[in-house]
Structure 1
Amino acid sequence: MNVEELVRDSLRELAVEEASAGPGFADRVLAVRRRRRTRRLVAVAVATAAVVAVSVAVPLLNEGRDDARPAGVTQQDGISAHPDQSPPSDLIAAGRSALAAYCTTALVAKNKKEATYERTYWLLDPDTGKYKKDTRWSFVAVAPGLKTAAVLERTLPAARIGLLDLATGEVERWIPAGRGVAGLAFSNGGTELVATTYSEHPDSLEKFKNAEDSEGAWMSTHRVSRTGFLLLDLAEGGGGIWHRVPSSSAGGRADFAFTRDDRHLFAAGGGLSTLVRPKFYDLSGKETAAPVNEKYLRWDVPARLSPNGKLAALGLAEEVEPAIAPGHRTTAGKSYSFIKDPLTGKEITKVRGAELLAWVDNQRLIAWERTSGLDEAYEDRLVLVTIGSDKVVPLSGVREHPETDPEPWEAVFAER
């Protein structure tokens, strides 16, 4: 059996299987971007630092409240696309996944030598299907159902965690953390929340000077500041137990998130490299082996496992410069990412997309796709991609990547 036959048979098998209730990522894990003079983590907080989608609504907050949301917000078989909007003002969604929020990240100088990267969020109003700016929060994790979010106030590390009703914009409950918190992620079952604790702001920078640049450049400090995690049981009122798990010597942001089975946590990122696989821990903070279906996953690819757990979304495979006639302007190249067997790590196929963000179903994903030529300033957009097809469906307008702040908007996905 050749590769084409293997892929065709695999897709035929997937097409007839019912998707499990297991969730995907709500968002991104904070994407690692290289700027002209610094590498650092940006939103999507978006928690891995990532936001993890859950399979049920966060308990207690919306109990008894009528669901008067537009059908487009809740239906899981439709596509809501706005290819003329970037950033979007109206709901973007496909299948099980919806853009629950987006954020921009800007450098804020504290003095002449110190600065931090700070986020500003636009949250989906589930009653109107519109995105509204909310400057109160430094970090947001959105639960599936698009009704509730866990939030942190502007100053990081934060002393308390808020559970926010997305429709009213009001915090229904404040949970004292007892430690400084700077990252949040829900369990896939929806009853637990992991809050990553830090001794200082994890996205801090310092100004360094060299002979070629008398003004100096802001560079990530990558100081070791993670102290551990607080595991909160929302069903029992939010009380939690703190576990000491310092970050590695590389330092930087290294948020915790839940594995698919909710029995383990993984530390997403930290340090200079985006290629290092995450470390895994049990719920008491003891380092452990990776679950068998997650050992080949990368922390910086938010989509991770397909709903049925049989496919793994991995990193960028290649960017192809199209053939053009001499003297003509370069058009956009095609981007491809790997789809692999999560148990063996073997490649099954490739799929369009430079960064795989969320699974729509067992055959389709939402991705960032480059729209600019390889010799041009980087531009991309949200698209719907399908395994076994080279076609893409634009979901958002084109996003530019300026060399000056603020950073381009980052997507936060959740299951609807």
Structure 2
Amino acid sequence: MELDRLIKNACEDWSAKAQMPVGLADLALRGRSRRRAVKAALAAALAAFLTGAAVVVGSTVATPIAERQPTQPPTPQLAFQPVALSADTAVRTDLGSTFPRRLVAAGHVAVAAYHTDRLRASAGGAKTVESTWYLYNPTSGTYEETPWANLDVAPGMHQAAVLEGPLPTSRVGLLDMKTQKVTRWISVEHPVGGVSWSPNGRRLIMTAYARNPYTIPAPGPCLLSGSVDAASRAGHGDIKPCGPDHASSRLGYYIVDESGDTTFHALPPDPANGNLPQDLGWSRDGTLIWAPTATAPTKVFYTPDGEQRPAPAHEADDAEPAGLSPNGTLLPKFGPRPGPAVTVRNVTTGKVVAVLPIEGAEAWADDHQLFAVGCDPKRCKGTGEFHNRLLLVNLKGEIKPLTGYHRSDREGSWVPLFTHR
């Protein structure tokens, strides 16, 4: 919601200067693609921890849907750190800070990092969403500002994958979170703009782009793919489809493991998805990867080599960022209106388990508690919905605040990254 509002504000600023392409506000949104990747990996790691089962990451031999291009010879002993998941389930809060300074955590999950976003002017009237990342430092016990343009934190919170700016970048760093130093660089031929750890923390998927996926092109009299026919029926047939600058520039992806192999797999973007970033993520058990869509179902699944597969049960139904609960039985969805409300339903029985007084379900802390976004109950109407904070809510509707309030509709508001601690 935070970045969505930021982009919409930029679009409103531009509207007086040029005709708006339909859906421009969605072009530069992270489009839930990155958030979904984080939630999928998080849920899988939680499921393994809570059931005591090991997460097995399979290597499926299949004919890829597109050409694979090796970009460098394998490098042995890549130094991925073993994943050591904490048994600590204590609730950690930082109520006195608009931007968290101390660790925020509950259940088996913590806010491992967070970012703030701002719009910067780019060439030709375009604008770029630039993120400032704050990463948890277990040595100091605080979140510290970093120089990285994008990152993801592995389960166990011992290691992060970091990307230099400007995006896309030709190398990915493996950062030791205790020392805050890069222990290894992974070089790639096709620059990458997104990165996501597998559920067991032993592999990385890196999404390659031809240009910065967070640069919004200057507005012009055009329509996104899929909207041209509708415009014609409405009497605006003179407006042409948007050009290539208005489409995602995703080229494909790399999957890197301890062998150091960085084989490139081509995977073009979904032309019906207006989001410029279309980062790839992992299925809950780590055996498949997925690409985001703009509509339901929310994901298209592939083998690691790129062969399309049916979606695992309910993994493409996650309208809320939290997705399925760790045990795979509960799924939150927004509503009923007018809210704020999120309904949690048992996907096996179809029964409603809870209707929670929250604005959004962000991540599962365990099978019974959710990280959520909630507004001040006395100020939730109108723009008051954007005066909110991070909460912990259980299935009984009992709420515990985790952070201080902030305005999520303004530049510089913070967006959490959840990881199994």
CA distance in 2: counterparts of 1:277 and 1:63, whole angstroms: 31
In structure 2, what is the equivalent of residue 313 of structure 1? 332
Aligned residues: 347
In structure 2, what is the equivalent of residue 281 of structure 1? 302
After superposition, where does 1:12-411 map in structure 2 within 5 Å?
A: 32-33=4-5, 35-36=8-9, 37=11, 38-39=25-26, 40-42=28-30, 46=34, 48=36, 50=38, 52-53=41-42, 55=45, 60=79, 74-134=86-146, 136-208=147-219, 222-233=246-257, 235-236=258-259, 238-249=260-271, 250-251=273-274, 252-269=276-293, 273=294, 277-298=298-319, 301-320=320-339, 335-342=340-347, 347-371=352-376, 372-377=379-384, 378-387=386-395, 389-403=396-410, 406-411=411-416
Q: CA deviation at 1:307?
A: 1.6
Higher helix share: 2
Q: Would you say the 8 A contact 1:49–1:268 is kept in 2?
A: no
TM-score by length of 2: 0.74
Q: Does 1:413 align with 2:418?
A: yes
Q: Indicate the SS of the match to 1:290.
A: coil
CA distance in 2: counterparts of 1:313 and 1:59, whole angstroms: 38
Q: Would you say the 8 A contact 1:366–1:385 is kept in 2?
A: yes
CA distance in 1: counterparts of 2:409 and 2:360, whole angstroms: 19
Q: Indicate the SS of the match to 1:122.
A: strand
CA distance in 2: counterparts of 1:365 and 1:86, whole angstroms: 20
Q: Indicate the SS of the match to 2:201.
A: coil
Structure number with greater CO (CA < 8 Å, separation at least 6) is 2
Q: Indicate the SS of the match to 1:318.
A: coil
> Structure 2: any 5+ residue segments left out of the alignment?
12-24, 50-54, 56-76, 222-243
CA distance in 1: counterparts of 2:191 and 2:370, whole angstroms: 35
> Structure 1: any 5+ residue segments left out of the alignment?
1-27, 68-72, 211-219, 321-334
Q: CA deviation at 1:248?
A: 1.3
Q: CA deviation at 1:62?
A: 5.0
Q: Would you say the 8 A contact 1:187–1:262 is kept in 2?
A: yes
CA distance in 2: counterparts of 1:45 and 1:129, whole angstroms: 29
**CA 46–297 in structure 1, closer or farther in 2 if over 3 Å, else same:** closer
**CA 315–402 in structure 1, closer or farther in 2 if over 3 Å, else same:** closer
CA distance in 1: counterparts of 2:358 and 2:351, whole angstroms: 19
**CA 32–264 in structure 1, closer or farther in 2 if over 3 Å, else same:** farther
CA distance in 2: counterparts of 1:128 and 1:154, whole angstroms: 25
**CA 194–344 in structure 1, closer or farther in 2 if over 3 Å, else same:** farther
**CA 319–281 in structure 1, closer or farther in 2 if over 3 Å, else same:** same
Q: CA deviation at 1:247?
A: 0.7
CA distance in 1: counterparts of 2:114 and 2:215, whole angstroms: 21
- Letter paired with 2:286: D
Q: Indicate the SS of the match to 1:385.
A: strand
CA distance in 1: counterparts of 2:391 and 2:206, whole angstroms: 31
Q: CA deviation at 1:111?
A: 2.5
Percent of aligned pairs with the same residue?
Answer: 28
- Letter paired with 1:308: N
Q: Indicate the SS of the match to 1:208.
A: coil
Q: CA deviation at 1:391?
A: 2.4
**CA 239–399 in structure 1, closer or farther in 2 if over 3 Å, else same:** same
Q: CA deviation at 1:63?
A: 6.8
CA RMSD of superposed structures (Å): 3.1
TM-score by length of 1: 0.75
